[in-house]
């Protein structure tokens, strides 16, 4: 029998990071020193206070069993306490918080829970590729929500065509933004909520980078706004904030009916995250304001400043981000995303992600993750500056 993938699989674009990793491995196998500035994976280990909590929890036989849908009550209570302390928002742990096996898993299971075939989903462009891919998994119709440098990478919601708005049931937002590093204010979220209410659209805000901010101004939660829980949910993750990308522990918060639908999908697909990992998540969110976190933000800020300044010297158009650990850079004149990224990889042995991998509006840009130390960052910049652009 000759295997034929489904039409929805055929509709998926290639996942840009898989191809980048393949090209990188070829160079490494040939003996080259490749500097990885592509994938957003912190190079520093998970904080000791979290690892210690995992070790302790893993020794308890009570944690060796299925956790099922709602999992460890302590994790949901801690998530609610975090929301109260960080945002001044009160959440009911049993109905307004849902434990996830990483926020990507929750994002992936949301469209099958709320989007019927043929209905529309507004997807940021450029944006995290999972929003578009998982819409296609649900046989939904992704509609671009264009983001541009001229508008500070915020969408013009008034420009959404009326027929698109009528057919849309779900809208994704993501601030602080991947890949651009842009931030959004509560005033913007007010406009987004008003738009969603007017058109009866579920608003899903991906806040995975909310604790990776620079300076004293902390990014807000959309759930801080009155009535937001009537129509919105928000994803929070330990992955980047606490150097826990491989641990896969996160939560969604907000509208209880949407979370119940998402939970129903999950209950038929997974059996919950290992309880010891949820205990580690409790330690993480209890320590969200510890000195280690402040030091980490300062470290990423310094790297981002050095990276953006060095790229500008090399002929890129690069602004210092306000949050995340990404520098979003316009490529030198005469290049597109692919040709510039290929030149970086093949001639400088530096990995950056071509902007078109985040959508058509990302063409002309490259995303650099500042997830190597300053010495390696400066080495990468030295190589980039030595190229003839």
pLDDT digits over 261-284, tens only? 999 999 999 999 999 999 999 999
Cis peptide before 126 (omega within 30 of 0): yes
- The segment(s) of the chain belonging to CATH 3.40.640.10 are 48-286
Residue 63 is classified by DSSP as G
Instruction: State the greatest distance between any 2 C-alpha atoms of the chain, in Å, as a whole number.
Output: 61
Give the mean pLDDT of the chain: 95
Has residue 376 got a pLDDT over 80? yes
- CA–CA dist 18, 22 (Å, integer): 6
Q: Which residue has the tokens 């999950």?
A: 266
Q: Residue 10: pLDDT band by 50, 70, 90 thresholds?
A: confident
How much of the chain exceeds pLDDT 90, in percent? 90
Instruction: Report the CATH fold assignment for 7-45+291-386.
Output: 3.90.1150
**Does the 48-286 domain belong in CATH 3.40.640.10?**
yes
| Residues 162-168, mean pLDDT to the nearest whole number | 97
Per-residue confidence (pLDDT) for residue 234, from 0 to 100: 98
Model pTM?
Answer: 0.96
When pLDDT is averaged across residues 38-61 and rounded to a whole number, the result is 96
Q: What is the pLDDT of residue 69?
A: 63
Distance CA 372, CA 136 (A): 34
Where exactly does CATH 3.90.1150.10 map onto the chain?
7-45+291-386
pLDDT tens per residue, range 50-106:
999 999 999 999 999 998 766 789 999 999 999 999 999 999 999 999 999 999 999
The arithmetic mean of pLDDT across residues 167-194, rounded, is 98
C-alpha dist (Å) from residue 40 to 138, 153, 239, 286, 370: 26, 19, 10, 24, 8
pLDDT digits (tens, 9 = 90+) for 339-365: 999 999 999 999 999 999 999 999 999
Residues 6+ away with beta carbon under 8 Å from 319: 181, 308, 328
Instruction: Answer yes or no: is pLDDT of 316 > 70.
Output: yes
Mean pLDDT of 197-224: 97
Nearest-angstrom CA–CA distance, 202 and 258: 8
- How many CB atoms neighbour CB 65 within 10 A? 11
pLDDT band at 13 (very low <50, low <70, confident <90, very high): confident
Average pLDDT over residues 1-18: 80
CA distance 135 to 363: 22
For residue 19, the model assigns a pLDDT of 77
DSSP 237-284: ESTTTTT-TTT--EEEEE-HHHHHHHHHHHHTT-----HHHHHHHHHH
Of the pLDDT bands very low, low, confident and very high (cuts 50, 70, 90), residue 167 is: very high
Q: CA angle, corner 172, sides to 171 and 177, nearest 5?
A: 150
Which is nearest to 239 in space by CA: 70, 57, 100, 119? 100
């Amino acid at each position: 029998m000759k295997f034929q993938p489904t039409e929805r699989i055929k509709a998926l674009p290639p996942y840009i990071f898989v191809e980048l990793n393949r090209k990188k491995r070829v160079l490494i196998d040939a003996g080259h020193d490749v500097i990885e500035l592509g994938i957003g994976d912190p190079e520093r280990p998970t904080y000791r206070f979290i690892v210690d909590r995992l070790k302790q929890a893993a020794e308890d036989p009570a944690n060796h069993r299925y956790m099922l849908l709602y999992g460890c009550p302590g994790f949901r209570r801690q998530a609610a306490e975090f929301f109260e302390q960080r945002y001044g928002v009160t959440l009911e742990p049993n109905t307004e918080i849902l434990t996830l096996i990483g926020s990507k898993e929750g994002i992936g299971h949301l469209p099958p829970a709320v989007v019927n075939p043929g209905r529309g989903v507004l997807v940021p462009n450029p944006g995290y590729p999972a929003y578009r891919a998982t819409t296609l998994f649900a046989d939904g119709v992704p509609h671009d929500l264009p983001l541009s440098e001229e508008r500070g990478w915020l969408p013009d919601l008034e420009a959404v065509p009326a027929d698109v708005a009528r057919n849309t049931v779900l809208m994704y937002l993501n601030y602080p933004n991947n890949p651009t590093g842009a931030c959004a204010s509560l005033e913007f979220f007010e406009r987004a909520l008003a738009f969603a209410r007017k058109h009866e659209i579920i608003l899903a805000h991906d806040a995975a980078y909310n604790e990776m901010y620079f300076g004293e101004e902390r990014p807000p939660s959309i759930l801080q706004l009155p009535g937001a829980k009537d129509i919105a949910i928000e994803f929070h993750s330990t992955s980047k904030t606490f150097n826990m990308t491989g641990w896969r522990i996160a939560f969604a918060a907000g509208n209880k009916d949407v979370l119940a639908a998402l939970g129903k999908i999950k209950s038929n697909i997974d059996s919950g995250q290992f309880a010891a990992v949820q205990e580690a998540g409790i330690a993480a969110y209890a320590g969200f304001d510890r000195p280690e976190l402040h030091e980490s933000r300062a470290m990423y800020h310094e790297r981002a400043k050095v990276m953006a300044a060095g790229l500008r010297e090399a002929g890129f158009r690069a602004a210092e981000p306000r949050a995340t650990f990404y520098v979003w850079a316009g490529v030198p004149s005469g290049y597109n995303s692919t040709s510039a990224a290929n030149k970086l990889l093949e001639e400088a042995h530096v990995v950056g992600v071509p902007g078109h991998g985040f959508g058509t509006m990302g063409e002309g840009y490259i995303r650099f993750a500042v997830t190597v130390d300053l010495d390696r960052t400066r080495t990468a910049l030295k190589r980039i500056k030595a190229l003839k652009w």
